[in-house]
């Protein structure tokens, strides 16, 4: 979906396909048919943006076989789909029964991570629509916090500097500009937007910026205006933004609230949980850990890294952080000029929701994704953007 900003630029809205993960190229082609095109048809659109997630094996197949890459591009065109952004955070196995800490490997000190990301950039340069010269890739925010010390973090920065140079060369070769955004996430070396400023200014290249995920922003209790203003002052580019909402519990000390939270503790993904007190931000790596005993202070609100559907907040006593998303979006694209032109709805946890809330089949999932995109569209038009055909 495309929108005209009041300043005349085009803002792209997509949804991320990691909600139906596929490890192979055949799987990617099937998801376009089984999921993405049905969502487009529900929206009544001739064209729908998708943020592709390409696992290692699928990316290697596309990067090494020009025929396969042309086949994917032709299939996108045939099904009325377009790609301006890729999710390069998960490397492989995102559909496994247990993902948890595995999603943070390989990190940016491992040669596999920059090699994979550069392959994604080459792929994206071919997949971009003919009338679009800029693409974006979101990625791991350096490493999980326990995966190394200062030397490893510096190795991560060095890998990103080299990547930036290679992206320069890619633009010289193709005429397509690809940028990469670190996606701050609770528990990582770069947990917050504030944490991103020092490493990104040290890298010092506008090819490498930040991906603002509004669920992660909310989980860490960051104020969107303060966070985005700080990035602007520091000259850190917002490469893309993932529109998502976290789980919020106002009174985690109450037994019925803890029972409601427990329904969201599940074995597949990490659901980092945070609380902000007078002494700062405190947290656990997972929701079930937070619910055990007195691990976290329970007299102030908790937020959990659980991407809940944008249009369907949990029932009381829980809520979502949709207000944080609204505030972030107003700052991202509601001003005289957009801070980013790539927006991506990213609710990958549909099948991890409590059983009563999960979509029962593909059709119900497509309904839900279409409803999320409709809400995002309405938020954009309320900010003065005009939807394009």
pLDDT score, position 147: 75
Distance (Å, rounded) from C-alpha 359 to C-alpha 350? 7
pLDDT value at residue 146? 87
* Predicted pLDDT of residue 135: 98
H/E run at residue 34 = none
Confidence of residue 79 (pLDDT cuts 50, 70, 90): very high
The residue among 52, 9, 7 whose CA lies nearest residue 27 is 52
Q: For residue 226, give Cα distances in angstroms to 232, 280, 331, 379.
A: 10, 16, 10, 21
Structural domains of the chain sorted by starting position, each given as residue range(s) with its CATH number in brackets: 2-246+321-387 (3.20.20.150)
- The CA–CA distances, whole Å, from 363 to 75, 82, 157, 205 equal 21, 21, 43, 43
Q: For 118-174, how does the pLDDT look when each residue is reduced to its tens digit (9 = 90+)?
A: 999 999 999 999 999 999 999 999 999 987 788 999 999 999 999 999 999 999 999
Q: pLDDT over 90 for what percent of the chain?
A: 97
The model carries a pTM of 0.97
Given this model, what pLDDT does residue 31 score?
A: 97
256-262, Cβ contacts within 8 angstroms, sequence gap of 24 or more: 256/317, 257/317, 257/318, 258/291, 260/314, 260/317, 260/318, 261/287, 261/290, 261/291, 261/302, 261/304, 261/318, 262/288, 262/291
Whether the per-residue pLDDT at 60 is higher than 80: the answer is yes
Mean pLDDT of 74-100: 97
Instruction: Taking residues 172-180, report their average pLDDT.
Output: 98
Tokens representing residue 67 in the block: 């025929």
For tokens 């997949």, name the residue. 127
Give the Å distances, CA to CA, from 77 to 65, 189, 345, 371: 19, 39, 21, 23
pLDDT, tens digit, 9 for 90 and up, residues 239-275: 999 999 999 999 999 999 999 999 999 999 999 999 9
- Which distant-in-sequence residues (6+ apart) come within 8 Å of 32 by Cβ? 50, 75, 76, 79, 81
Give me the pLDDT at residue 293, please.
Answer: 80
Q: Which of 194, 186, 181, 275 is nearest to 228 (CA)?
A: 194
**What number is the average pLDDT over the span 325-351?**
98
Going 278 to 284 to 289 to 290, the CA torsion angle's sign is positive
End-to-end CA distance of the chain, in Å? Answer: 8
Which candidate, 208, 139, 213, 142, places its Cα nearest to that of 178?
Answer: 208
Q: What is the pLDDT of residues 276-331, one digit of tens each?
A: 999 999 999 999 999 998 899 999 999 999 999 999 989 999 999 999 999 999 99
Overall average pLDDT of the 15-19 stretch: 98
User: Is the separation of the CB atoms in 245 and 238 below 8 Å?
Assistant: no
Q: Is the pLDDT of residue 211 over 80?
A: yes
């Amino acid at each position: 979906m495309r929108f005209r900003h009041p300043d005349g630029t085009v803002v792209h809205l997509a949804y991320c396909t990691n909600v139906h993960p596929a490890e192979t190229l055949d799987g990617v082609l099937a998801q376009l048919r089984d999921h993405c095109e049905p969502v487009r048809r529900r929206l009544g659109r001739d064209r729908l943006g998708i943020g592709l997630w390409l696992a290692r094996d699928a990316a290697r197949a596309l990067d090494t076989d020009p025929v396969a890459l042309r086949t994917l591009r032709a299939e996108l065109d045939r099904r009325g789909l377009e790609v301006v952004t890729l999710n390069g955070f998960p490397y492989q196995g995102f559909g496994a029964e247990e993902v948890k800490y595995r999603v943070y490997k390989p990190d940016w000190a491992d040669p596999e991570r920059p090699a994979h990301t550069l392959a994604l950039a080459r792929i994206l340069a071919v997949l971009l629509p003919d009338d679009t010269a800029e693409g974006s890739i979101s990625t791991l925010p350096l490493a999980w916090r326990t995966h190394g010390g200062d030397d490893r973090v510096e190795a991560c920065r060095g890998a990103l500097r080299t990547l930036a140079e290679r992206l320069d060369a890619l633009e010289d070769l193709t005429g397509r500009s690809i940028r990469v955004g670190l996606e701050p996430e609770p528990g990582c070396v770069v947990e917050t937007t504030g944490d991103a400023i020092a490493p990104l200014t040290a890298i010092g290249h506008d090819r490498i910026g930040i991906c603002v995920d509004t669920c992660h922003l909310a989980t860490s209790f960051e104020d969107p205006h303060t966070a985005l203003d700080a990035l602007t002052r520091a000259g850190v580019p917002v490469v893309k933004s993932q529109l998502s909402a976290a789980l919020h519990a106002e009174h985690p000390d109450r037994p019925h609230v803890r029972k409601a939270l427990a329904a969201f503790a599940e074995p597949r993904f990490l659901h980092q949980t945070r609380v902000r007190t007078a002494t700062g931000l405190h947290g656990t790596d997972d929701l079930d850990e937070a619910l055990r005993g007195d691990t976290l202070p329970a007299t102030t609100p908790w937020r959990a890294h659980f991407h809940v559907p944008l249009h369907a907040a949990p029932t009381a006593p829980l809520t979502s952080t949709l207000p944080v998303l609204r505030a972030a979006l107003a700052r991202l694209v509601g001003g005289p000029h957009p801070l980013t032109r790539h927006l991506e709805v990213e609710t990958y946890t549909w099948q991890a929701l409590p059983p009563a809330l999960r979509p029962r089949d593909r059709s119900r999932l497509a309904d839900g994704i279409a409803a999320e995109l409709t809400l995002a569209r309405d938020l954009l038009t309320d900010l003065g953007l005009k939807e394009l055909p």
